Structure 1
């Protein structure tokens, strides 16, 4: 009886082995004919036998399964995710076996998949198909985990979609792994065009310099992306109503980087988005102390003061911004807005006057004040228009002022400019 049982067991094992080989050959045959539907069907049949496969057969099956599911890039997202997982399992299994029969082919297949997904994702991003781009970049990252920049690209694409839940997941992964994103970039000046150009790597740049095609080699470290990542995490939390999580994310980041002006500004913006204007102002003032040469900070404090109905304080900040950056066009615009804002009170006083001689005299005095307001605003509007020739709001305001002042020639010239701008805008 014992011998009979052994014989039956041997027959069962032989039968199982034959079935495994048969299913694996069926997958191979379908793949050879690019019949991916039959290949996937055969994969399903073989999968039921995987538990009894030896490691060598498992490795082969995992490789064939990945090919069948990937289907030369035509597989569904779920299929391709499973194909990537299958390749990862194959590499892990063969590493444990100490025999890399399929790993090299798997690496070649992975590289081909990466190149296809990068091309597809870059094209999708360029065409503003951010959903496809995000999924593609995330798959590239999963296939090449050391290249964390692709997870960053996936997060950026998801934000642009916008798909905030997915973006938050990616950004938190980046934050938790301590992703910085700063990298060395290589530049040199083209001797023919005299323009500074970037290179993919140092050796290419140095070779071009040696060949006397470029000069003035320069290495520049790009900015860290930590501040941007934390800011986006916080802003997503704000959009989801998770204000405490938003501020917690900022607090953690700033405790690690207390001198990072980018993180400070990000926290300020979160408070502004939450409506905490006093805290925003406090942090912005702290930022101006840390970065006194930043015109944008002064301008933003001016905007905040204006929104708080404190135009004279706003004026001081706008003037500081211009002192730092004489070409800060928005500050010129807003100074004109503050000056012209004084007109409303004058008009109210004029409208409240009667017809007595005293009232008529007062009316003329107020009219002079109003005229002076116009003349005070004109230089700032002209400068704003000079710095930004498409500034239609500045042009329209100037046109109306010239009309009110009776300066007919200037009015006509500005009217023609406004019409030209509007026609150009319609054409675009």
Structure 2
């Protein structure tokens, strides 16, 4: 018997026919209100299509998303239903315009109201884990009906972040940034002559009423909200940093700095992402670029000091950077802490103690005393910075313990006893 071979073209036609059949059946079922049948036909269609929808006619995809989304909504799965219906809006191209938005509007209108109330109630109750998905629901539902109101996407991004749901927050912020959303919105107001109340009008009505002599409105005013674009970059880059997405944080911070070159927060995030990902050279370069653009950036000066302090040959350079930091902020405790440690040469202190003990054991008292005198001199030089550290952070037990030791070494018995008592009191808490 001759073997029958199907060509690729024939296979494609067969699949296309199956797609059309199953999708049209699902659409007819949901239109008839038969949710169960619609779900069955949707599952059958998706099994034929698989993950790749690019070969499916957009008109058929619109019907599929519509049938699946409405079926999910009517089954009580509002979140997935909303996100499925929202895909319809993404089908729009120069060659195809979705036609089912009008049908969706009537179905989802009461659901939008319910979801919006649930989102606002949860937000006001600080139940952010509920509010975030609900705001996203509202956004997706409105988008499915042809209203791409990104303010609700912005609300969802904020509440996802407050709920520590960083993955969904990052996704929402990415969508906002990639869409060019700025949050700038102009509202139009006028006073109703009859009621005396100030009313918000749509722009077309506002323009018309303003041009109408002796009309029903007066005192025409506008209010334009501030841009939140800079905030979007700052928050999302920080979320990426927090979740270990260092390369993403670096790229987003760089993109943000092109728009907002003097933004300190973005520079800090970019630098920390370089540092945490082990890209020390890039971190150093970013810090130097940052202080060049913004000489008042104390954090970048401080971080330059931290990097320099890791190289024993750059102690003086590190001290200059820390000095610059405290010139900008006299209460910046970490800078005083690092200056204290550098001047004490704390990394090598145990080595000096070992040398001292070895010389004493060898009965070389003069040489041993020189080591101890040099140590006291270092500690005396560091003491004023340790005191400033304590002044900046009086509740820091590390500062208290260090000062106790410094006063003991520099033979200030009264201060030693004072800080010994402070340390004991703090340890009891």
Give the TM-score category using the shorter length.
Answer: 0.5 to 0.7
Conservation of the 8 A alpha-carbon contact between 1:381 and 1:398: yes
Note the 1:148-227 alignment, pairs <5 A.
148-157=153-162, 160-161=164-165, 163=167, 166-180=168-182, 224-227=230-233
Kindly state the Cα deviation for residue 315 of structure 1 after the two structures are TM-superposed: 1.3
- In structure 1, C-alpha distance between the alignment counterparts of 2:169 and 2:254, rounded to whole Å: 20
- In structure 2, C-alpha distance between the alignment counterparts of 1:88 and 1:278, rounded to whole Å: 44
Q: Which position in structure 1 is the counterpart of 2:282? A: 279
The match for 1:412 among 417, 420, 427 is 417
- In structure 2, C-alpha distance between the alignment counterparts of 1:182 and 1:423, rounded to whole Å: 53
Q: Is 2:330 aligned against 1:331?
A: no
- In structure 2, C-alpha distance between the alignment counterparts of 1:93 and 1:223, rounded to whole Å: 33
Distance 1:88 1:231, change over 3 A: closer
Q: Is 2:306 aligned against 1:303?
A: yes
The match for 1:386 among 386, 391, 403 is 391
Q: Which position in structure 2 is the counterpart of 1:44? A: 36
Gaps of 5+ in 2: 1-28, 43-66, 89-97, 143-147, 187-199, 201-224
Kindly state the Cα deviation for residue 338 of structure 1 after the two structures are TM-superposed: 1.1
The match for 2:369 among 345, 364, 370 is 364
Distance 1:228 1:122, change over 3 A: farther
Q: CA offsets per residue over residues 305-331 of structure 1, 9 Å max, x none?
A: 123443332211111111111111211
Kindly state the Cα deviation for residue 280 of structure 1 after the two structures are TM-superposed: 0.7
CA root-mean-square deviation: 4.4
Q: Which position in structure 2 is the counterpart of 1:11? A: none
Q: Which position in structure 2 is the counterpart of 1:199? A: none
Q: CA offsets per residue over residues 379-424 of structure 1, 9 Å max, x none?
A: 2222222222211100011122233344443223212222322333
Kindly state the Cα deviation for residue 118 of structure 1 after the two structures are TM-superposed: 3.2
Distance 1:125 1:179, change over 3 A: farther
Distance 1:84 1:364, change over 3 A: closer
Q: Which position in structure 2 is the counterpart of 1:116? A: 118
Distance 1:252 1:415, change over 3 A: same
Q: Is 2:234 aligned against 1:228?
A: yes
- In structure 1, C-alpha distance between the alignment counterparts of 2:360 and 2:101, rounded to whole Å: 97
- In structure 1, C-alpha distance between the alignment counterparts of 2:240 and 2:73, rounded to whole Å: 41
- For the residue of structure 1 that corresponds to 2:359, the secondary structure is coil
Distance 1:137 1:388, change over 3 A: farther
Distance 1:249 1:324, change over 3 A: closer
Note the 1:132-147 alignment, pairs <5 A.
132=130, 134-143=132-141, 145-146=148-149, 147=151
Q: Which position in structure 2 is the counterpart of 1:212? A: none
Conservation of the 8 A alpha-carbon contact between 2:115 and 2:134: no
Q: CA offsets per residue over residues 35-94 of structure 1, 9 Å max, x none?
A: xxxxxxx743687899xxxxxxxxxx9999787544xxxxxxx444326767999xx978
Q: Which position in structure 1 is the counterpart of 2:81? A: 82
Kindly state the Cα deviation for residue 228 of structure 1 after the two structures are TM-superposed: 1.8
Conservation of the 8 A alpha-carbon contact between 1:66 and 1:84: no
Conservation of the 8 A alpha-carbon contact between 1:234 and 1:246: yes
Distance 1:398 1:257, change over 3 A: closer
Distance 1:393 1:87, change over 3 A: closer
Q: Which position in structure 2 is the counterpart of 1:16? A: none
- In structure 1, C-alpha distance between the alignment counterparts of 2:176 and 2:229, rounded to whole Å: 16
Distance 1:365 1:270, change over 3 A: same
* TM-score normalised per structure 1: 0.60
- In structure 2, C-alpha distance between the alignment counterparts of 1:277 and 1:69, rounded to whole Å: 54
Conservation of the 8 A alpha-carbon contact between 2:344 and 2:379: yes
